[in-house]
């Protein structure tokens, strides 16, 4: 069975073929560190953590990058309100992020670059784009000319529409679709010296430069939320392909949003619940089960009742495992990979990471193990059922603890 992934770029499920055989390079767009992380961030973190754990189980070696955006207007505004500098503000929320990720039991990415540490590669990147005439300077800013890149709009399905007039243009852009690679900063704003004056990079170029520096000109997976398809990832493709001639990533994976009563959960909507607060109310396992309970491409509506359901569903598993351990130790040597449950679990994960289907298989196994345990107590167990009792706990731990992280 092959792993099939829905690629936003081609709008279809494709068989996953890594560039370097068993080694996979993944770049996930990380948080802008100016506030506490919420359930929207948790969905991204837990989903990508789960697929990483699954890919590792399948024998792949993963090189995962998740950046921190520490240069952004939101940081500047918040730092000003709090009377601090953006560096200290970013560090505070990076520390908080790490605490939240530990709470959610996610594996640490291999690289966690900060935009502010990549100013030189970003500037070099921009310089080449100017030389190649994909970018231009205007009023102390540098813009990428979207119209100069023939494939612009392929990821998001948008086309560039010419405006009736650009006369009111104060930014210096030649076209509204053009986007900033470098923006000038005044003395009170954070900035770095450059060939184009004192300024700071635009958001899109930060991710492209960090991804390229760490994973190379082309890597396997570029990922993030669906809200990043446009403009962020569209612009990343334009500037990276303009620079290297290569599509920066082969597979583009985007997860749906966490919603509250149908509206996207976000800091700007003021409808978010922080991971920190939820961790006081629910177990990390229940939070993970809730986050994985919908297919990643669908929206996930946040309701406490659903997290409580997850809590209840997981409650009996630890007791079951203890009972099974008493019954049939040692279990570690058993080969379970040919078991029908494990096969079905992998089939679900191979089908574009269908975690709800994988979770359903795990609970089918739990039900069957409970049933056989009862039969064992009565001495009426059949030989095949005895085998399931032997291998069941290992399978259950592999699925629930090692991959889904819910046990």
Residues in touch with Zn ion (CB under 5 A): 29, 207
What residues form the annotated binding site for Zn(2+)?
29, 207, 232, 236
Q: What's the longest Cα–Cα distance across the chain? A: 86
Nearer to Zn ion, 29 or 257 (CB): 29
CA-based Rg of the chain, rounded to a whole angstrom? 24
User: Within 13 A of 287's CA, how many CA atoms are on the CB side?
Assistant: 29
Question: How many CB atoms neighbour CB 77 within 10 A?
Answer: 12
C-beta of 44 vs 390, nearer to Zn ion: 44
CB of 264 to Zn ion, least distance (A): 18
- Whichever of 47 and 345 has its CB closer to Zn ion, that residue is 47
Closest distance to Zn ion from the beta carbon of 232 (Å): 6
Length of the chain in residues, anyone? 407
Strands 61-66 and 135-138: unpaired
Token pair for 175 = 């076209």
Cis peptide before 290 (omega within 30 of 0): no
Q: How far is the CB of 202 from Zn ion (least distance, A)?
A: 11
| Cα(182)–Cα(139) distance, integer angstroms | 11
How far apart (Å, rounded) are the C-alpha atoms in residues 176 and 166?
8
Rounded to whole angstroms, the Cα distance separating 283 from 269 reads 26
For residue 8, how many C-alpha atoms fall within 13 Å in the half-sphere facing its CB? 26
Report d(CA 368, CA 118) in Å as an integer.
Answer: 53
Nearer to Zn ion, 140 or 231 (CB): 231
Which of 28, 32, 33 shows the shortest CA–CA distance to 95?
A: 33
Which residue lies nearer to Zn ion by CB, 14 or 227? 227
- Nearest distance, CB of residue 137 and Zn ion, angstroms: 24
Minimum CB–partner distance for residue 206 and Zn ion (Å)? 7
Q: To the nearest whole angstrom, how small is the minimum distance from the Cβ of residue 185 to Zn ion?
A: 21
DSSP-assigned letter for residue 245: S
Q: Which parts are annotated binding residues for ATP? A: 267
- Please report, in angstroms and rounded to a whole number, the separation of the first and last CA atoms in the chain: 26
Q: Which is nearer to Zn ion, 29 or 114 (CB)?
A: 29
Nearest Cα to Cα of residue 115 among 94, 143, 92, 142: 94
Residue 210 CB, nearest approach to Zn ion (Å): 8
Binding site, annotated residues: 29, 207, 232, 236, 267
Nearer to Zn ion, 207 or 257 (CB): 207
């Amino acid at each position: 069975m092959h792993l099939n992934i829905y690629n936003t770029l081609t709008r279809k499920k494709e068989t996953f073929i890594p560039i370097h055989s068993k080694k996979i390079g993944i770049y996930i767009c990380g948080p802008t560190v100016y506030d506490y992380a919420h359930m929207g961030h948790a969905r991204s973190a837990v989903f990508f953590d789960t697929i990483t754990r699954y890919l590792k189980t399948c024998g792949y070696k993963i090189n995962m990058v998740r950046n921190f955006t520490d240069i952004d207007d939101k940081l500047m505004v918040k730092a000003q309100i709090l009377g601090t500098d953006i560096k200290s503000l970013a560090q505070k929320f990076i520390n908080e992020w790490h605490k939240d990720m530990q709470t959610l039991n996610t594996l640490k990415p291999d690289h966690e670059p900060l935009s502010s540490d990549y100013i030189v590669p970003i500037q070099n990147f921009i310089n080449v784009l100017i030389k190649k005439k994909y970018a231009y300077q205007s009023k102390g800013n540098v813009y990428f000319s979207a119209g100069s890149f023939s494939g612009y709009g392929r990821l998001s399905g948008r086309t560039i529409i010419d405006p009736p007039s650009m006369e009111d243009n104060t930014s210096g852009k030649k076209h509204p679709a053009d986007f900033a690679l470098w923006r000038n900063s005044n003395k009170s704003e954070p900035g770095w010296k450059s060939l184009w004056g004192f300024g700071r990079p635009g958001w899109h170029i930060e991710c492209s430069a960090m991804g390229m520096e760490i994973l190379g000109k082309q890597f396997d997976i570029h990922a993030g939320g669906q809200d990043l398809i446009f403009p962020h990832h569209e612009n990343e493709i334009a500037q990276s392909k303009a620079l290297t001639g290569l599509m920066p990533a082969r597979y583009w994976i985007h997860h749906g949003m966490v919603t509250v009563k149908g509206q996207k959960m976000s800091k700007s909507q003021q409808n978010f619940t922080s991971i920190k607060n939820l961790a006081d109310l629910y177990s990390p396992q229940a939070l993970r089960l809730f986050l994985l309970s919908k297919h990643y491409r669908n929206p996930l509506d946040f309701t406490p009742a659903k997290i409580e359901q997850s809590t209840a569903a997981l409650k009996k598993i630890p007791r079951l495992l203890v009972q099974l351990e008493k019954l049939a130790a040692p279990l570690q040597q058993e080969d379970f990979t040919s078991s029908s449950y494990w096969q079905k679990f992998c089939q679900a994960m191979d089908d574009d990471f269908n975690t709800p289907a994988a979770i359903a298989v795990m609970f089918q196994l739990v039900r069957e193990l409970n049933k056989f345990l009862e039969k064992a107590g009565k001495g009426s167990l059949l030989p095949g059922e005895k085998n399931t009792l032997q291998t069941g706990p290992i399978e259950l731990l592999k699925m629930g603890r090692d991959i889904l992280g819910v046990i």
